[in-house]
Amino acid sequence: MRPRTFGLAVSLFLACACTRTTSSDTAPTAADAKKFIDDVNATTLKLATEASQAGWVAETYITGDTSALNARANQRFIDTLARYAKDAVRFDHTDVPPDLRRSLDLLKVALVMATPSDPREGEELTSIAANLDAAYGKGKWCEDPKKPESCLDINQITEIMRVSRDEKKLRQVWEGWHTISPSMRKDYARFVDLSNKGAKELGFPDTGAMWRSKYDMPADAFTKELDRLWDQVRPLYLKLHAYVRMKLREKYGDVVPANGPIPAHLLGNIWAQDWTNVYPLVAPKNSDPGYDLTAILKNRKLTPVDMVKTGERFYTSLGFSPLPQTFWERSMLVKPRDRDVVCHASAWDVDNVEDLRIKMCIEPTDEDFRTIHHELGHNFYQRSYKDLPMLFRDSANDGFHEAIGDTIALSVTPEYLVKIGMIEKAPDSSRDIGLLMQRALEKIAFLPFGLLIDQWRWKVFSGEVKPDDYNKSWWDLRLKYQGVAPVAARSEEFFDPGAKYHVPGNVPYTRYFLADILQFQFHRALSQTAGCTSMLHRCSIYQSADAGKKLNDMLSMGLSQPWPEALTKIAGTKQMDASAILDYFKPLDTWLDEQIKGKPVGW
């Protein structure tokens, strides 16, 4: 992931009750617009850099002071951006060149929440947004409210969901976590009203439409695009769902229906968005790959720096320049002994030019090795677009940044490990089903969830779903897309969407769905460029200068052009295409067909 303060993709709420600047009598000219955008680029570069510096210190040296400084720097950046976004409306009818128009449009959608001009409403919205975020952050479930030691936060809940196989316990914990959110319901409804008001002032019908307008196509067309992509992958999801349901039924008995939805508490994750943790229950026989990268990293005593140098060599093998010396001086690669830090891996570009860094508490594990390749993807992307104006220093759409890191991680194949001398010989393909199953439990299982969060929110923002139906519509969508259901009815006394951070935190979610789709499309296209003729899941673009050139051609465009233009540079098409996922998982798809032969599919 990337830190929140990076670039202009700010996922924080805005906190100003800004008023529109007074307009003069004469209509603004293109020269006025140019001057305005130049000012925006210069000022946001300065403020974003200050915010990143504060953010870096806050996350690598956690104290009350550093977090206060960070909040202040963030607020300054967000307030300024909000003011600029409202000012940009002034040029709505000015005839300007395309790059200026694009800059003005991007500015208006740079923030995810628009505050109404009315100062009182603006302040109310800001405080509700902060309260919702805080309510989630403080969320705890206490088995015995009189005993504080019985209280569980989301990390402890996550761990129980990961390891427990006790159906009753899982159900209790699942229901427990969902008690944190009913109190958010009223605030959320008010939040929707007020943020819609702000969006209208910027010229959008509602907040959901404002979010969708980030994607260089009409909002409705974008919705249809998502449906089309989902239809492509749905048959594979149904097979995975049927197989996992069958195996869970073997484990848990009748609580898992033979042909209905899977109970939401049995998939190893509180939101059932990632099923990797149930792998031991569904693992195919004889699918051990025959090597253990974690053990190899440990035996060879590879240091965190060694591991990152190995990741860097992947990128230099594609033709990218090595990381700057400052990367090695300023990154945090090891968990410090003497202070609290945020260990969650992230990639930074502190000065928005070349002050690239990674913040990670690296352990010698297979997972961390892969994550390093992912995080460096962000860094190389960041550096590729450093020469563009600040408003364009971001990925082609918000799905692209995550997709690039993951694309590279898909190239961490057994063949790649052979080439870099980690293993002697790649296992034969009969061993691949286990690896593909693990990856499917992560990436295929996620797709419907990645889609439905914003399906729900867009309906809420547009008014199609009213507060009286918040919970019903949530579970309708979870059933429709995921085939997942609660074991007992969830009436409107609950507010289950609030138990997922991105709803009270107001972070758009479609980007994760897009990233999941795009990474396979990128991987297939780049593998073809690299001349890979083996099965797609065994292709690595390591050492391919041709693939590297295509990749860099796209990365260096940043956000300067509509994303279909960027997509074309790699994939040779302007359309997103989920068929690469099907290619990648072909052997698993065939294997699943055999496993579920004669068994019910769907719900």
Active site residues: 344-345, 374-375, 378, 402, 502, 512
Q: Under the rule (CB under 5 A), what is the footprint of Zn ion?
A: 1, 402, 405
- Tell me which DSSP letter residue 540 carries: -
Furthest-apart CA atoms within the chain: distance in Å: 77
Smaller CB separation from Zn ion, 116 or 405 = 405
Measured torsion, CA atoms of residues 469, 470, 474, 477, in degrees rounded to the nearest 10: 50
Please choose, from the candidates 353, 359, 351, 361, the residue with its C-alpha nearest in 3D space to the C-alpha of residue 376.
359
CB of 232 to Zn ion, least distance (A): 24
Please choose, from the candidates 142, 209, 208, the residue with its C-alpha nearest in 3D space to the C-alpha of residue 176.
142
CB of 1 to Zn ion, least distance (A): 4
Smaller CB separation from Zn ion, 72 or 344 = 344
CB of 524 to Zn ion, least distance (A): 20
Measured torsion, CA atoms of residues 437, 230, 368, 74, in degrees rounded to the nearest 10: -160
Sequence-separated (6 or more) residues with CB below 8 Å from residue 287: 431, 432, 433, 434, 435, 437
Smaller CB separation from Zn ion, 358 or 580 = 358
Smaller CB separation from Zn ion, 141 or 315 = 315
Using Cβ positions, the residue closest to Zn ion within the complex turns out to be 1
510: left (phi over 0), alpha (psi -120 to 50) or beta: alpha
DSSP 130-198: HHHHHHHHH--EESSTT-GGGEE-HHHHHHHHHH---HHHHHHHHHHHTTSSGGGHHHHHHHHHHHHHH
Q: Which long-range contacts (CB under 8 A, 24 or more apart) does 25-32 make?
A: 27/93, 27/94, 28/90, 28/91, 28/94, 29/94, 30/94, 30/95, 30/96, 30/97, 30/100, 32/91, 32/94
CB of 295 to Zn ion, least distance (A): 26
Smaller CB separation from Zn ion, 399 or 498 = 399
DSSP 329-395: HH-B-S--SSS----S-EEEETTSSS-EEEE----SSHHHHHHHHHHHHHHHHHHHTTTS-GGG-S-
Smaller CB separation from Zn ion, 400 or 481 = 400
User: Does an H or E element contain 484, and which?
Assistant: strand 484-485
Please choose, from the candidates 2, 8, 60, 5, the residue with its C-alpha nearest in 3D space to the C-alpha of residue 390.
8
3-state class (DSSP) for residue 581 = helix
Query: What are residue 151's DSSP bridge partners?
Result: 142
Smaller CB separation from Zn ion, 211 or 512 = 512
- Count the helix, strand and coil residues of the chain and give each as a percent rounded to the nearest 5: 60, 5, 35
Side chain identity at residue 54, one-letter code:
A
CA pair distance 585, 365, nearest whole angstrom: 25
Smaller CB separation from Zn ion, 1 or 238 = 1
CB of 346 to Zn ion, least distance (A): 7
Q: Which residues of 284-306 are buried (b: 16+ CB within 10 A; e: fewer)?
A: beebeeebebeebbeeeebebee
Write down the H helix ranges in 411-485: 414-419, 432-462, 470-477
Smaller CB separation from Zn ion, 84 or 513 = 513
CB of 345 to Zn ion, least distance (A): 8
CB of 378 to Zn ion, least distance (A): 6
CB of 69 to Zn ion, least distance (A): 25
CB of 365 to Zn ion, least distance (A): 17
